[in-house]
Structure 1
């Protein structure tokens, strides 16, 4: 029985050495240059990196991974696992263009993980040398270009002594707090969550055979849990083939995603809700006519609120290309549970309820709660009163709690936060629970996620979810960018707590700011009966987001109170 993904990779390299593990679209175009790596080659490159780390006595230490999009990250990551080194995926620097916030985050990660070595590509390591004066933390850290490690180094590799409880990597949460926390994910957690993903997404032996091993396609960043644990590691777990390309290439031209699906015909591919909205924004009759999306069985949608209107519009737009409503696959997960917690049923349409939990809902409008599926095998999901720590009845909204073998060990070297988040107990249940900080309810075993506990706004004694206000604002004018609005409350003096909306608008909307502001206020007033304290329209790309694209509302609120936003009409930030 495999103890880790290292054992799994060894098996695949022996049994199917010539099968392509990963295919990379270098330009993002399906008809452009590709690079690929077989299982035999992947195992040898991973062992070469591992041997380099072992030869320097780094087993048990932390290695930060800073790679541009491409296949080298995978060899570096699996090399760490093969050496018994704890991998720490990070966002690669962008040379002189690196902003202050990203530099500050990198410093904190290096310090918190106590990283002894940085693995990266040639350009990344050069950029780090250029930034050394801003990063004194790099003085005692060895930087290595893993491409320069020769294949022959693999000959000195020795198999590490790994157990299910050995920490495999640290997934740093990208929340809006000043101190990111590293989730300590063990080898046992990884294997269990790959089992959950496999079962929930229908990656059965029959499916693998039907698709001739061409199972997954992804543009998601590999340094983030959704892109790493899902498409990348489920590929090596199953011994199949994945097609990958850069997130930047997707953002530049969202049609590349759909074109790649049409070309390589995978079973599973997905992303956050905004990705489907981007595809809709760039859809043309010519594109739809050129696509064949009939092979796409699992179009997973997670990491941010799933919108019923998005599902309806995407299905309507791309049905002529063979896309089926049943392919949409809302799911829920978080880094603290490795990644996946719940997922839908393959070939079943998403479950929609009215916003109050009744239903079903037609999906004609977005006033619906969308089911994120059922827990994976061996996982328990409960909805608890966050204050009383008791389980709530079905249909009642509370904090989502999770237990199971996929739940991580805790936060790296943070006993207090680990105790608060990972050690909750619930009457009537054995063992410990992970407190997710997310709000939701259960109905007939299906999980419905409604918001974040700390983002909840209470105005005049009523609870309001910021996602609902953000959606109402975004639908009020086409210049407002989907998924780029932050709602939060502030102390408005004698009026009490009132909402503020910060929204990104397209660059050509500068002459309509007053009209857009009035429409946002009217939309919030009509839909929620709330006066709005302030509406701030900002330049594209300036609202703080996590690495997975989630809005950082607390960071947005702090920037609003500090006066550090970039309102339209003021110079764009450099």
Structure 2
């Protein structure tokens, strides 16, 4: 009986030790340097790390994992699981003394998790020595480069005897609407969610055989739940092969993702909606001519709003390369449910509907709602009135509530937040539900996600989803960078120095749009602003207080790439946005 992923470590190493578990494209290119690790070698390295941790009496303690993209993170993560140590994936420092935001987050996570050890690559551990003043006292936190742990240490590894309800790792939430919180994911949660992913994404024995065990290509960051629980751990769960490379290499040249899919022909690969938009932006004829995407069966799209327009354009653009509409796979999940909650039906195109205008949180929108599929096996999804805690009729918009064995244990050392989020009672239902904070509706058993409860913009008594305003703005003018726009509301009495000039002195909530554009478009700011205002007015019947155009890469985002609208709002009100000023050209 499999009690945890640690049991699978032994099974895979025994049954197919020479099979490639992971390959890593060091430069992001298929014809560049490639590192591979077999299941036998993976077991040896993971056990060596585990034994090192066990010998220091760290079972039950927290270990912060700080690694650049690569295979060493996977060995360390599985080593923590095999030692009964609670892994805490984090973003490694880049060694820049001015990178205050990253250092502040890292220090906060180390302190909040009460980490006793930091595991990292050699370069990361060296970098940490240079920023030691930003970390807890060295005496409190041991630092080790896991490459320096000898293979021979594996011989002293001992089975940890892990019960299903023991915490496997802390997944710190992205913090798109609040400060990051550590989600306690148990070994039982991991096994259950891997079962859900396997079933929903059609990772059957036949599919595995058809693809000769090549099941994933991924550039997603492994310190985030989508990149870790999906491509990395589902690969390990199934005993198949995944091809990985750095998120930075994807962002630098999006073609690398599609080229890797064409080369290795995996069953499954995906990312947030912005990734598909980036590929569309770089879809040159010479790229299309060299691609074969016909083997791509599941192109998952999640972690941020899924755009119907993106799905259509991606299908039309890449159909000549063999991409099929049926491969489109919108899905929905969150760290508090380990990862996956709902997913599409394999070999079936996603369902598109006009968003309803009913329910306590229905928005004013003409946008199409994209189905995120059906709940995984033994997962219950309900749409609730967030104030009355009563289930809403089918088709009405409300808060998405979730129940099932994948729902995590709660937030680390935060009993109040755990009770409020993980212990909700729904009238007429037994058991407790997870309140996701997301808005959506159900139709014929499928979930349609429409926005975030806390991000909702209410102007003159009408609800507007910021995602809809952002999409309208980005489609209004090509200068706006896809996935780099933030819409939010401010009180009519507040006035930020974010730029743009708006109607001061008006009472009530007013909408503000902040968008990144290229600096070479600075001379067109007035025209771009007018076009965006007009588009939002026509599409949503909404007068925008300010349209603020800022430099690329300056809108706050979470570690997983989600727009931080609350942080953007704060920067607007504080007058700290990196505004592109046309007057600076003269």
Give the TM-score, by structure 2 length. 0.95
Q: 1:367, CA displacement in angstroms?
A: 2.4
Per the alignment, residue 329 of structure 2 pairs with 329
In 1, the alpha carbon distance for the partners of 2:117 and 2:247 equals: 26
Per the alignment, residue 313 of structure 2 pairs with 313
Per the alignment, residue 41 of structure 1 pairs with 41
Q: Does the 8 A contact of 1:111 with 1:137 survive in 2? A: no
Alpha-carbon distance change, 53 to 388 in structure 1, aligned in 2, over 3 angstroms: same
Superposed counterparts of 1:479-558, under 5 Å: 479-493=479-493, 494-558=506-570
- Work out whether 1:221 is the aligned partner of 2:233: no
Q: 1:347, CA displacement in angstroms?
A: 0.3
In 1, the alpha carbon distance for the partners of 2:302 and 2:457 equals: 23
Q: 1:161, CA displacement in angstroms?
A: 1.8
**Counterpart secondary structure, 1:428:** coil
- Work out whether 1:125 is the aligned partner of 2:125: yes
Q: Does the 8 A contact of 2:456 with 2:464 survive in 1? A: yes
Per the alignment, residue 362 of structure 1 pairs with none
Task: Name stretches of at least 5 consecutive residues in structure 2 with no aligned partner.
Answer: 359-364, 494-505
**Counterpart secondary structure, 2:223:** coil
**Counterpart secondary structure, 1:347:** coil
Q: 1:111, CA displacement in angstroms?
A: 0.7
**Counterpart secondary structure, 2:217:** strand
Per the alignment, residue 258 of structure 2 pairs with 258
- Work out whether 1:439 is the aligned partner of 2:446: no
Q: Does the 8 A contact of 2:17 with 2:40 survive in 1? A: yes
The total of aligned residue pairs comes to 566
Q: 1:407, CA displacement in angstroms?
A: 0.1
- Work out whether 1:566 is the aligned partner of 2:578: yes
Task: Name stretches of at least 5 consecutive residues in structure 1 with no aligned partner.
Answer: 359-364
**Counterpart secondary structure, 2:529:** helix
Q: Does the 8 A contact of 2:12 with 2:239 survive in 1? A: yes
Per the alignment, residue 339 of structure 1 pairs with 339
The CA RMSD over aligned residues, in Å, is 1.5
Q: Does the 8 A contact of 1:198 with 1:234 survive in 2? A: yes
In 1, the alpha carbon distance for the partners of 2:407 and 2:142 equals: 32
In 1, the alpha carbon distance for the partners of 2:42 and 2:418 equals: 35
Q: Does the 8 A contact of 1:168 with 1:186 survive in 2? A: yes
1:152-204 per-residue CA deviation (whole Å, 9 max, x = no partner) reads 00011001020110000000012145632100000000000000000000000
Q: 1:446, CA displacement in angstroms?
A: 0.3
1:459-491 per-residue CA deviation (whole Å, 9 max, x = no partner) reads 000111001111111111101001110000001
Superposed counterparts of 1:220-369, under 5 Å: 220-356=220-356, 367-369=367-369
In 2, the alpha carbon distance for the partners of 1:112 and 1:385 equals: 33
In 2, the alpha carbon distance for the partners of 1:101 and 1:26 equals: 27
Per the alignment, residue 134 of structure 1 pairs with 134
Write out the 4+ residue segments of structure 1 that deviate beyond 2 Å after TM superposition.
134-139, 176-179, 355-358, 569-572
In 1, the alpha carbon distance for the partners of 2:21 and 2:313 equals: 34
Per the alignment, residue 362 of structure 2 pairs with none
Per the alignment, residue 361 of structure 1 pairs with none
